[in-house]
Amino acid sequence: MAALRNKSDQEIKDLLNEYGIKHGPLVDTTRPLYEKKLKEAMAKAKVPVTKPSPDRTFYREDQEEVTYVTYQTPVRSEGPSGDGKPYMRSRPEYSERDRVDDKPYSRSRPEYSERDRVDDKPYSRSRPEYSERDRVDDKLYSRSRPEYSSGRPYVDEPHVYNTLSSSSYSKPTPVVKSGGGVVKKENTTSSGRLIPLWIQFLVFLILAGFLYFIFTNMESAESSPFNRIQ
Amino acid sequence: MSSTSQKHKEFVAEPMGEKLVNALAGIGEVLGKRLEEKGFDKAYVVLGQFLVLKKDEELFRDWLKDTCGANVKQQGDCYGCLREWCDSFL
């Protein structure tokens, strides 16, 4: 079965029909293409036995979607096939999160997509990705992927206020009191749901400034005895 | 809204005659050279292949990718170009 080259034209045609592959006349220029298609179809036929199990351990919730994608990868291995699978896996996950995210935050999606258009210029591609991942990562997937954890270095600083940036739906307002009024207004005027990254950044800066202000006040309190002596 | 290139417009405007394979939309210097090495030195030879593949998009795209390593965009451009040419002249 492996020696497709040695088969006659008629046999190749029969095999193509068997696998349901649409084809034209078998000529010398088309033969290599059909042989390749047959090889892929044969490999694909073996896939259901081995593929789904690793994917199932990876996703508890949406198994069907993932296995559907892995079916596609052997056929449409455009780029390097080694990279194709994990890349494709992250894609449905990305869209999966889209759906899964919908349940706890039913309002978030349409607002977010609006946001996407509004903030198109400075944060066109990477930002919405980041902020979307940021949210979901906190809520549902406790074992965070390395890319996500590496994508939040600047969030680590205010460790106490980690929840501020990560789930910035309703939490920022009780935490940041001084800038809370401003933040809240910004929230309602711009999105009301998913706070875009620039607002998070702004809040973070306000918070950092606030902390710095407190810190300097503390220092001045300490230095007062020194002043006295002098 | 399909944005067709200048090359595409020029190609589909008239019978291809003896035009080189470079004249096809999506086929530049590098891909053209690869096609020529495989024996597809003129546009009509690629047309022949397109017709033998029954003008099927997927088959043609796969064939183009295998033969000269065209990427998705190039495949699409070439396919669209040939298809439109066929609609007008075939």
d(CA A169, CA A152): 18
Per-residue pLDDT band for A44 (boundaries 50, 70, 90) equals confident
Higher per-residue confidence, B69 vs A140: B69
Q: What is the per-residue DSSP string for chain A? A: ----TTS-HHHHHHHHHHTT-------TTTHHHHHHHHHHHHHHHHHHHHSHHHHHHH-SS-HHHHHHHHHHHHHT--S-HHHHHHHHHHHHHHHHHHHHTTTT-TTHHHHHHHHHHHTTTTTSSHHHHHHHHHHHHHHT-SS--HHHHHT-GGGSSSSTTHHHHHSTTTSHHHH--TTHHHHHHHHHHHTSSSPPHHHHHHHHHHHHHHHHHHHHHHHHHHHHHHHHH-
Percent pLDDT > 90 in chain A is: 11
Least confident span in A7-21, A67-81, B30-44, B56-70 = A67-81
pLDDT at A184 over 70: no
Q: Mean pLDDT over all residues of chain A?
A: 61
pLDDT the model gives residue A97:
45
Least confident span in A13-22, A86-95, A221-230, B26-35 = A86-95
B12: CATH: 1.10.150.40
Higher per-residue confidence, A156 vs A208: A208
Question: How far apart are the CA of A187 and the nearest CA of chain B, in angstroms?
Answer: 36
Residue type, A199: I
Query: What's the maximum distance between 2 C-alpha atoms anywhere in chain B?
Result: 35
For residue A22, the chain B residue with the least C-alpha distance is B59
Contact status of B59 with chain A (Cβ, < 8 Å): yes
Decide if B1 is inside a domain: no
Q: How many CB pairs under 8 A join A and B?
A: 29
Is B52 in contact with A36 (Cβ distance < 8 A)? no
User: In this structure, what token pair is assigned to residue A172?
Assistant: 């920022």
pLDDT the model gives residue A139:
47
For residue A35, the chain B residue with the least C-alpha distance is B63
Is B49 in contact with A37 (Cβ distance < 8 A)? no
Q: How much is the ipTM here? A: 0.85
Is A22 in contact with B56 (Cβ distance < 8 A)? yes
Is B66 in contact with A23 (Cβ distance < 8 A)? no
Question: Contacts of residue A22 in chain B, CB cutoff 8 Å?
Answer: 54, 56, 58-59
Higher per-residue confidence, B27 vs A153: B27
Contact status of B66 with chain A (Cβ, < 8 Å): yes
- B29 is in which domain, residue-wise? 6-89
The length of chain B is: 90
pLDDT the model gives residue A110:
45
What's the pLDDT tens digit per position in A108-120? Answer: 444 444 444 444 4
pLDDT the model gives residue A194:
80
Answer yes or no: pTM beyond 0.80.
no
Partner residue facing B52 (CB), from A24, A32, A37 = A24
| pLDDT by residue, tens only, chain B of 90 residues | 457 899 999 999 999 999 999 999 999 999 999 999 999 999 999 999 999 999 999 999 999 999 999 999 999 999 999 999 999 999
pLDDT the model gives residue A114:
44
Dihedral (Cα; A182, A188, A190, A192), 10-degree rounding: 130
Least confident span in A44-58, A116-130, A197-211 = A116-130
For residue B53, the chain A residue with the least C-alpha distance is A24
Per-residue pLDDT band for A225 (boundaries 50, 70, 90) equals low
User: In this structure, what token pair is assigned to residue A38?
Assistant: 């047959």
pLDDT the model gives residue A94:
44
Q: Which of residues 38-57 of B touch A (CB under 8 A)?
A: 49, 52-54, 56
Domains identified in chain B, total number: 1
Contact status of B63 with chain A (Cβ, < 8 Å): yes
Per-residue pLDDT band for A45 (boundaries 50, 70, 90) equals confident
Cβ-proximal residues to B5 (8 Å cutoff; 6+ apart), any chain: B25, B77
